[in-house]
A and B are shown apart, each in its own frame.
Chain A
Amino acid sequence: SQTIHQWPATLVQPVGSPLSLECTVEGTSNPNLYWYRQAAGRGLQLLFYSVGIGQISSEVPQNLSASRPQDRQFILSSKKLLLSDSGFYLCAWNGQGNTEAFFGQGTRLTVV
Chain B
Amino acid sequence: GESVGLHLPTLSVQEGDNSIINCAYSNSASDYFIWYKQESGKGPQFIIDIRSNMDKRQGQRVTVLLNKTVKHLSLQIAATQPGDSAVYFCAENRGDTGRRALTFGSGTRLQVQP
Contacts and interface: CB of A to CB of B under 8 A. Distances in A.
Interface of B is mostly: loop
Contacts of B3: 42-45
A60 B107 CA distance: 20
Given A98-B51, A103-B44, A106-B41, A42 B6 contact: yes
Contacts of A43: 2-4, 6, 8, 89, 104-107
Interface residues of B, number: 32
Nearest to A87: B4
A100 B71 CA distance: 20
Given A103-B44, A108-B41, A46 B103 contact: yes
B43 A49 contact: no
Contacts of A102: 46
B28 to A, nearest CB: 16
Given A43-B3, A44-B89, A106-B41, A100 B100 contact: no
Interface residues of A, number: 30
A42 B100 CA distance: 22
B7 interface: yes
Interface in A87-108: 90, 92, 94, 96-98, 100-106, 108
A102 B91 CA distance: 12
Nearest to A95: B100
A27 interface: no
B107 A42 contact: yes
